[in-house]
Chains A and B, each alone.
Chain A
Protein backbone atom coordinates (compact mmCIF):
# COMPACT_ATOMS: atom_id res chain seq x y z
CA UNK A 1 0.00 0.00 0.00
CA UNK A 2 1.34 3.40 -0.90
CA UNK A 3 -0.32 5.47 1.84
CA UNK A 4 1.51 6.20 5.07
CA UNK A 5 0.35 4.03 7.96
CA UNK A 6 -1.72 5.69 10.68
CA UNK A 7 -0.34 3.20 13.19
CA UNK A 8 2.98 1.46 12.94
CA UNK A 9 4.29 -1.06 15.47
CA UNK A 10 7.91 -1.98 14.85
CA UNK A 11 9.27 -4.99 16.77
CA UNK A 12 7.42 -4.03 19.91
CA UNK A 13 8.34 -6.01 23.01
CA UNK A 14 6.69 -5.64 26.40
CA UNK A 15 7.89 -7.55 29.43
CA UNK A 16 6.10 -7.50 32.77
CA UNK A 17 8.32 -8.25 35.79
CA UNK A 18 12.02 -9.13 35.78
CA UNK A 19 14.37 -12.10 36.07
CA UNK A 20 12.75 -15.49 36.45
CA UNK A 21 9.35 -13.92 36.94
CA UNK A 22 9.50 -11.98 33.66
CA UNK A 23 6.47 -12.48 31.45
CA UNK A 24 6.69 -11.52 27.80
CA UNK A 25 3.35 -9.90 27.02
CA UNK A 26 4.54 -9.01 23.50
CA UNK A 27 7.54 -10.34 21.60
CA UNK A 28 8.76 -8.27 18.66
CA UNK A 29 5.29 -7.64 17.31
CA UNK A 30 5.19 -5.62 14.09
CA UNK A 31 2.22 -4.46 12.11
CA UNK A 32 0.78 -1.46 10.37
CA UNK A 33 -2.70 -0.03 10.03
CA UNK A 34 -3.30 2.17 6.99
CA UNK A 35 -6.09 4.66 6.34
CA UNK A 36 -9.24 2.74 5.40
CA UNK A 37 -8.12 -0.44 7.14
CA UNK A 38 -9.76 -2.26 10.00
CA UNK A 39 -7.53 -4.84 11.66
CA UNK A 40 -8.82 -7.40 14.12
CA UNK A 41 -6.55 -8.84 16.80
CA UNK A 42 -7.54 -12.22 18.20
CA UNK A 43 -6.05 -14.61 20.68
CA UNK A 44 -6.80 -16.43 23.92
CA UNK A 45 -6.66 -14.71 27.32
CA UNK A 46 -3.10 -13.72 28.12
CA UNK A 47 -1.99 -13.71 24.49
CA UNK A 48 -1.09 -10.02 24.64
CA UNK A 49 -3.94 -8.50 22.66
CA UNK A 50 -4.96 -5.97 25.30
CA UNK A 51 -1.33 -5.02 25.96
CA UNK A 52 -0.96 -4.39 22.25
CA UNK A 53 -3.91 -2.02 22.29
CA UNK A 54 -2.77 -0.08 25.38
CA UNK A 55 0.69 0.36 23.83
CA UNK A 56 -0.80 1.46 20.50
CA UNK A 57 -2.90 3.97 22.43
CA UNK A 58 0.05 5.37 24.37
CA UNK A 59 -1.34 4.15 27.70
CA UNK A 60 1.63 1.82 28.22
CA UNK A 61 5.21 1.86 26.94
CA UNK A 62 7.11 -0.93 25.20
CA UNK A 63 10.44 -2.17 26.62
CA UNK A 64 11.78 -2.28 23.08
CA UNK A 65 10.62 -1.35 19.63
CA UNK A 66 8.85 1.69 18.22
CA UNK A 67 5.23 2.82 18.05
CA UNK A 68 4.35 5.51 15.53
CA UNK A 69 0.97 7.21 15.29
CA UNK A 70 0.64 9.33 12.13
CA UNK A 71 4.41 9.36 12.03
CA UNK A 72 4.86 10.57 15.64
CA UNK A 73 6.95 8.33 17.90
CA UNK A 74 4.88 7.66 21.03
CA UNK A 75 7.89 6.81 23.22
CA UNK A 76 9.84 9.90 22.18
CA UNK A 77 6.73 12.06 22.66
CA UNK A 78 6.90 11.63 26.45
CA UNK A 79 3.97 11.72 28.88
CA UNK A 80 2.50 15.05 27.82
CA UNK A 81 3.09 14.44 24.12
CA UNK A 82 1.28 11.10 24.39
CA UNK A 83 -1.60 12.72 26.25
CA UNK A 84 -1.90 15.27 23.45
CA UNK A 85 -1.87 12.55 20.78
CA UNK A 86 -4.61 10.73 22.69
CA UNK A 87 -6.74 13.86 22.54
CA UNK A 88 -6.09 14.67 18.90
CA UNK A 89 -5.24 11.50 16.98
CA UNK A 90 -6.29 8.42 18.93
CA UNK A 91 -9.82 7.33 19.82
CA UNK A 92 -10.43 4.55 22.32
CA UNK A 93 -13.60 2.45 22.57
CA UNK A 94 -13.96 0.18 25.59
CA UNK A 95 -16.16 -2.82 26.30
CA UNK A 96 -17.96 -1.06 29.17
CA UNK A 97 -18.29 2.28 27.31
CA UNK A 98 -16.43 4.31 30.02
CA UNK A 99 -18.60 7.39 29.64
CA UNK A 100 -18.42 9.92 32.45
CA UNK A 101 -21.72 9.49 34.35
CA UNK A 102 -22.06 13.14 35.41
CA UNK A 103 -21.74 14.45 31.84
CA UNK A 104 -24.36 14.36 29.06
CA UNK A 105 -23.69 12.54 25.80
CA UNK A 106 -22.63 15.78 24.08
CA UNK A 107 -20.39 16.76 27.02
CA UNK A 108 -18.73 13.34 27.00
CA UNK A 109 -18.00 13.68 23.30
CA UNK A 110 -16.81 17.29 23.42
CA UNK A 111 -14.55 16.75 26.45
CA UNK A 112 -11.40 15.69 24.54
CA UNK A 113 -11.77 18.73 22.27
CA UNK A 114 -12.26 21.14 25.16
CA UNK A 115 -9.27 19.65 27.01
CA UNK A 116 -7.30 20.37 23.87
CA UNK A 117 -8.35 24.02 23.89
CA UNK A 118 -11.28 24.09 21.47
CA UNK A 119 -13.79 26.79 22.53
CA UNK A 120 -16.93 25.32 24.15
CA UNK A 121 -19.31 26.35 21.37
CA UNK A 122 -17.18 24.83 18.60
CA UNK A 123 -16.59 21.69 20.69
CA UNK A 124 -20.33 21.29 21.23
CA UNK A 125 -21.00 21.66 17.48
CA UNK A 126 -18.36 19.04 16.67
CA UNK A 127 -19.78 16.71 19.34
CA UNK A 128 -23.32 17.00 17.96
CA UNK A 129 -22.00 16.33 14.44
CA UNK A 130 -20.19 13.21 15.71
CA UNK A 131 -23.34 12.05 17.54
CA UNK A 132 -25.29 12.61 14.35
CA UNK A 133 -22.83 10.45 12.43
CA UNK A 134 -23.50 7.51 14.79
CA UNK A 135 -27.27 8.10 14.73
CA UNK A 136 -27.86 9.42 18.28
CA UNK A 137 -27.93 13.21 17.86
CA UNK A 138 -31.34 13.23 19.57
CA UNK A 139 -29.71 11.90 22.76
CA UNK A 140 -27.16 14.73 23.01
CA UNK A 141 -28.50 16.03 26.33
CA UNK A 142 -29.11 12.69 28.00
CA UNK A 143 -26.90 11.25 30.72
CA UNK A 144 -25.34 7.79 30.30
CA UNK A 145 -27.75 6.14 32.76
CA UNK A 146 -30.64 7.36 30.61
CA UNK A 147 -29.39 5.38 27.61
CA UNK A 148 -29.28 1.71 26.58
CA UNK A 149 -25.94 -0.09 26.25
CA UNK A 150 -26.06 0.20 22.47
CA UNK A 151 -26.75 3.93 22.67
CA UNK A 152 -23.91 4.43 25.18
CA UNK A 153 -21.51 2.60 22.88
CA UNK A 154 -22.58 4.81 19.98
CA UNK A 155 -21.79 7.85 22.12
CA UNK A 156 -18.42 6.27 23.00
CA UNK A 157 -17.69 5.84 19.29
CA UNK A 158 -18.64 9.47 18.66
CA UNK A 159 -16.18 10.42 21.41
CA UNK A 160 -13.50 8.25 19.78
CA UNK A 161 -13.86 9.86 16.37
CA UNK A 162 -14.66 13.48 17.24
CA UNK A 163 -12.22 16.06 15.89
CA UNK A 164 -11.24 13.89 12.94
CA UNK A 165 -9.09 11.48 14.91
CA UNK A 166 -7.76 8.92 12.49
CA UNK A 167 -6.84 5.99 14.73
CA UNK A 168 -9.61 4.09 16.48
CA UNK A 169 -8.65 1.44 19.03
CA UNK A 170 -11.54 -0.74 20.14
CA UNK A 171 -11.24 -3.26 22.98
CA UNK A 172 -14.12 -5.79 22.78
CA UNK A 173 -16.54 -2.96 21.95
CA UNK A 174 -19.48 -5.33 21.49
CA UNK A 175 -18.81 -7.56 24.50
CA UNK A 176 -21.68 -6.13 26.54
CA UNK A 177 -24.19 -5.92 23.69
CA UNK A 178 -26.65 -8.33 22.06
CA UNK A 179 -25.78 -9.66 18.60
CA UNK A 180 -27.87 -7.21 16.53
CA UNK A 181 -26.76 -4.13 18.51
CA UNK A 182 -23.17 -5.40 18.40
CA UNK A 183 -23.36 -5.65 14.64
CA UNK A 184 -24.61 -2.06 14.38
CA UNK A 185 -21.54 -0.94 16.34
CA UNK A 186 -19.28 -2.87 13.95
CA UNK A 187 -21.01 -1.26 10.98
CA UNK A 188 -20.20 2.14 12.47
CA UNK A 189 -16.55 1.24 13.06
CA UNK A 190 -16.33 -0.15 9.56
CA UNK A 191 -17.96 2.97 8.06
CA UNK A 192 -15.49 5.19 9.91
CA UNK A 193 -12.58 3.16 8.51
CA UNK A 194 -14.11 3.21 5.03
CA UNK A 195 -14.17 7.01 5.40
CA UNK A 196 -10.40 7.06 5.95
CA UNK A 197 -9.63 6.18 9.58
CA UNK A 198 -7.55 3.18 10.63
CA UNK A 199 -9.04 0.84 13.20
CA UNK A 200 -7.69 -1.88 15.48
CA UNK A 201 -10.34 -4.13 16.97
CA UNK A 202 -9.48 -6.54 19.78
CA UNK A 203 -12.11 -9.27 19.90
CA UNK A 204 -12.61 -12.90 20.82
CA UNK A 205 -15.63 -13.22 18.51
CA UNK A 206 -14.69 -14.58 15.06
CA UNK A 207 -17.98 -13.16 13.76
CA UNK A 208 -16.81 -9.66 14.62
CA UNK A 209 -13.31 -10.20 13.29
CA UNK A 210 -15.04 -10.96 9.99
CA UNK A 211 -15.64 -7.21 9.60
CA UNK A 212 -11.90 -6.57 9.46
CA UNK A 213 -9.67 -6.45 6.40
CA UNK A 214 -6.99 -8.41 8.23
CA UNK A 215 -7.07 -10.66 11.27
CA UNK A 216 -3.90 -10.99 13.36
CA UNK A 217 -3.65 -13.93 15.77
CA UNK A 218 -1.54 -13.60 18.91
CA UNK A 219 -0.31 -16.48 21.05
CA UNK A 220 1.95 -15.83 24.04
CA UNK A 221 2.80 -12.38 22.73
CA UNK A 222 3.76 -13.58 19.26
CA UNK A 223 1.94 -13.03 15.98
CA UNK A 224 1.39 -16.62 14.87
CA UNK A 225 -0.97 -16.18 11.98
CA UNK A 226 -2.71 -13.65 9.78
CA UNK A 227 -5.86 -13.99 7.68
CA UNK A 228 -7.06 -11.98 4.77
CA UNK A 229 -3.77 -10.18 4.14
CA UNK A 230 -3.90 -10.61 0.39
CA UNK A 231 -7.66 -10.29 -0.02
CA UNK A 232 -8.75 -8.44 -3.09
CA UNK A 233 -11.94 -6.41 -2.90
CA UNK A 234 -15.00 -7.64 -4.73
CA UNK A 235 -14.39 -11.31 -4.10
CA UNK A 236 -17.65 -13.26 -4.22
CA UNK A 237 -19.24 -15.32 -1.47
CA UNK A 238 -18.36 -18.53 -3.24
CA UNK A 239 -14.78 -17.56 -3.90
Chain B
Protein backbone atom coordinates (compact mmCIF):
# COMPACT_ATOMS: atom_id res chain seq x y z
CA UNK B 1 0.00 0.00 0.00
CA UNK B 2 1.39 3.38 -1.00
CA UNK B 3 1.34 5.66 2.07
CA UNK B 4 2.96 8.31 -0.08
CA UNK B 5 0.08 8.46 -2.54
CA UNK B 6 -2.53 8.14 0.18
CA UNK B 7 -1.15 11.29 1.85
CA UNK B 8 -1.03 13.16 -1.45
CA UNK B 9 -4.68 12.25 -2.09
CA UNK B 10 -5.74 13.41 1.38
CA UNK B 11 -3.91 16.73 0.96
CA UNK B 12 -5.52 17.38 -2.42
CA UNK B 13 -8.75 19.03 -1.20
CA UNK B 14 -7.14 20.99 1.66
CA UNK B 15 -3.89 21.45 3.64
CA UNK B 16 -3.65 19.35 6.82
CA UNK B 17 -1.48 18.71 9.87
CA UNK B 18 0.21 15.33 10.27
CA UNK B 19 -2.14 14.07 12.97
CA UNK B 20 -5.14 15.13 10.85
CA UNK B 21 -3.77 13.11 7.95
CA UNK B 22 -3.59 10.02 10.08
CA UNK B 23 -7.16 10.25 11.32
CA UNK B 24 -8.48 11.18 7.84
CA UNK B 25 -6.74 8.12 6.38
CA UNK B 26 -8.13 5.77 8.99
CA UNK B 27 -11.62 7.20 8.70
CA UNK B 28 -11.64 6.83 4.92
CA UNK B 29 -10.33 3.26 4.96
CA UNK B 30 -12.63 1.92 7.66
CA UNK B 31 -9.72 1.79 10.16
CA UNK B 32 -8.51 -1.41 8.53
CA UNK B 33 -4.93 -0.27 8.09
CA UNK B 34 -3.81 1.60 11.18
CA UNK B 35 -1.12 4.10 10.26
CA UNK B 36 1.48 5.01 12.84
CA UNK B 37 2.15 8.69 13.30
CA UNK B 38 5.92 8.24 12.88
CA UNK B 39 5.25 6.75 9.45
CA UNK B 40 3.14 9.79 8.53
CA UNK B 41 5.89 12.26 9.48
CA UNK B 42 8.72 10.30 7.78
CA UNK B 43 6.65 10.10 4.60
CA UNK B 44 5.81 13.82 4.78
CA UNK B 45 9.46 14.79 5.11
CA UNK B 46 10.34 12.58 2.12
CA UNK B 47 7.51 14.14 0.11
CA UNK B 48 8.77 17.61 1.10
CA UNK B 49 12.33 16.70 0.09
CA UNK B 50 11.02 15.58 -3.32
CA UNK B 51 9.02 18.78 -3.77
CA UNK B 52 5.61 17.05 -3.77
CA UNK B 53 4.33 18.81 -0.62
CA UNK B 54 5.42 21.94 1.18
CA UNK B 55 5.33 22.71 4.88
CA UNK B 56 3.52 25.90 5.82
CA UNK B 57 2.69 27.74 9.02
CA UNK B 58 3.11 26.12 12.43
CA UNK B 59 0.32 26.17 15.02
CA UNK B 60 0.56 26.86 18.76
CA UNK B 61 1.43 23.18 19.43
CA UNK B 62 4.33 23.40 17.01
CA UNK B 63 2.61 21.30 14.33
CA UNK B 64 3.20 22.14 10.73
CA UNK B 65 0.51 22.48 8.08
CA UNK B 66 1.28 20.66 4.81
CA UNK B 67 -0.08 21.45 1.36
CA UNK B 68 0.21 19.82 -2.04
CA UNK B 69 2.56 21.40 -4.62
CA UNK B 70 1.98 21.46 -8.40
CA UNK B 71 4.43 18.54 -8.75
CA UNK B 72 2.49 16.72 -6.03
CA UNK B 73 -0.74 17.21 -7.98
CA UNK B 74 0.91 15.75 -11.10
CA UNK B 75 2.22 12.76 -9.14
CA UNK B 76 -1.26 12.17 -7.70
CA UNK B 77 -2.93 12.42 -11.12
CA UNK B 78 -0.47 9.86 -12.46
CA UNK B 79 -1.22 7.50 -9.58
CA UNK B 80 -5.00 7.73 -10.10
CA UNK B 81 -4.44 7.38 -13.86
CA UNK B 82 -2.52 4.10 -13.67
CA UNK B 83 -3.65 0.62 -12.60
CA UNK B 84 -2.33 -0.92 -9.39
CA UNK B 85 0.15 -3.52 -10.68
CA UNK B 86 -0.70 -7.19 -10.11
CA UNK B 87 2.83 -8.25 -9.38
CA UNK B 88 3.71 -11.85 -8.58
CA UNK B 89 0.99 -13.41 -6.40
CA UNK B 90 1.58 -12.86 -2.69
CA UNK B 91 2.59 -16.01 -0.84
CA UNK B 92 -0.84 -17.56 -0.55
CA UNK B 93 -0.71 -19.52 2.69
CA UNK B 94 -4.14 -21.04 2.13
CA UNK B 95 -3.41 -22.31 -1.40
CA UNK B 96 -0.12 -23.78 -0.20
CA UNK B 97 -1.82 -25.39 2.80
CA UNK B 98 -4.51 -27.07 0.68
CA UNK B 99 -1.91 -28.22 -1.87
CA UNK B 100 0.11 -29.81 0.93
CA UNK B 101 -3.03 -31.31 2.50
CA UNK B 102 -3.91 -33.07 -0.77
CA UNK B 103 -0.56 -34.88 -0.68
CA UNK B 104 -0.73 -35.88 3.00
CA UNK B 105 -1.64 -39.46 3.85
CA UNK B 106 -4.56 -40.12 6.15
CA UNK B 107 -5.66 -36.48 6.29
CA UNK B 108 -9.31 -35.50 5.78
CA UNK B 109 -8.79 -32.69 3.26
CA UNK B 110 -12.53 -31.98 3.14
CA UNK B 111 -12.44 -31.22 6.86
CA UNK B 112 -9.55 -28.80 6.29
CA UNK B 113 -11.57 -27.08 3.55
CA UNK B 114 -14.73 -26.92 5.66
CA UNK B 115 -12.91 -25.47 8.61
CA UNK B 116 -11.46 -22.72 6.45
CA UNK B 117 -14.75 -22.02 4.69
CA UNK B 118 -16.52 -21.67 7.99
CA UNK B 119 -13.89 -19.21 9.24
CA UNK B 120 -13.94 -17.18 6.03
CA UNK B 121 -17.75 -17.08 6.04
CA UNK B 122 -17.70 -15.86 9.63
CA UNK B 123 -15.34 -13.06 8.55
CA UNK B 124 -17.60 -12.26 5.59
CA UNK B 125 -20.59 -12.06 7.95
CA UNK B 126 -18.73 -9.61 10.18
CA UNK B 127 -17.76 -7.40 7.18
CA UNK B 128 -21.43 -7.41 6.15
CA UNK B 129 -22.52 -6.40 9.66
CA UNK B 130 -20.01 -3.53 9.53
CA UNK B 131 -21.45 -2.54 6.13
CA UNK B 132 -24.95 -2.44 7.56
CA UNK B 133 -23.70 -0.12 10.27
CA UNK B 134 -22.06 2.46 7.99
CA UNK B 135 -23.57 5.14 5.79
CA UNK B 136 -20.20 6.43 4.58
CA UNK B 137 -19.57 5.60 0.89
CA UNK B 138 -15.76 5.29 1.06
CA UNK B 139 -15.95 3.17 4.19
CA UNK B 140 -18.61 0.94 2.57
CA UNK B 141 -16.50 0.44 -0.57
CA UNK B 142 -13.48 -0.65 1.46
CA UNK B 143 -15.68 -3.17 3.27
CA UNK B 144 -17.02 -4.32 -0.12
CA UNK B 145 -13.42 -5.02 -1.16
CA UNK B 146 -13.06 -7.32 1.84
CA UNK B 147 -16.44 -8.94 1.13
CA UNK B 148 -15.56 -9.71 -2.49
CA UNK B 149 -12.16 -11.01 -1.45
CA UNK B 150 -13.69 -13.37 1.14
CA UNK B 151 -16.28 -14.46 -1.41
CA UNK B 152 -13.56 -15.34 -3.93
CA UNK B 153 -11.86 -17.47 -1.29
CA UNK B 154 -15.09 -19.32 -0.43
CA UNK B 155 -15.79 -19.95 -4.12
CA UNK B 156 -12.29 -21.32 -4.55
CA UNK B 157 -12.76 -23.59 -1.50
CA UNK B 158 -16.08 -24.86 -2.95
CA UNK B 159 -14.23 -25.54 -6.17
CA UNK B 160 -11.47 -27.43 -4.30
CA UNK B 161 -14.07 -29.53 -2.52
CA UNK B 162 -15.88 -30.40 -5.76
CA UNK B 163 -12.60 -31.27 -7.52
CA UNK B 164 -11.61 -33.44 -4.59
CA UNK B 165 -14.90 -35.34 -4.69
CA UNK B 166 -14.53 -35.81 -8.42
CA UNK B 167 -10.99 -37.15 -7.96
CA UNK B 168 -12.20 -39.53 -5.23
CA UNK B 169 -15.00 -40.82 -7.50
CA UNK B 170 -12.57 -41.32 -10.37
CA UNK B 171 -10.12 -43.07 -8.03
CA UNK B 172 -12.86 -45.39 -6.74
CA UNK B 173 -13.81 -46.60 -10.19
Contact = CB atoms under 8 A, between A and B. Distances in A.
A215 B85 CA distance: 35
B43 interface: no
Interface residues of A, number: 25
B114 A215 contact: no
B124 interface: yes
A154 to B, nearest CB: 18
A209 B121 contact: yes
A210 B118 contact: no
A210 B158 contact: no
Given A44-B158, A237-B127, A237-B130, A210 B32 contact: no
Q: Is the interface of A mostly helix, strand, loop or mixed?
A: loop
Interface core residue of A215, A224, A227 (most chain B CB under 10 Å): A227
Contacts, number: 63
A44 B162 contact: yes
Interface string A204-235: 01110111110101000000111110010101
A44 B162 CA distance: 9
A210 B128 contact: yes
B125 A225 contact: no
Contact of B126 (A187, A206, A212, A239): A239
A227 B128 contact: no
A227 B148 contact: no
B143 A210 contact: no
Interface of B: 30, 32, 114, 117-118, 121-122, 124-130, 132, 143, 146-148, 150-151, 154-155, 158, 162
5 contacts: A206-B150, A207-B148, A209-B121, A210-B147, A235-B126
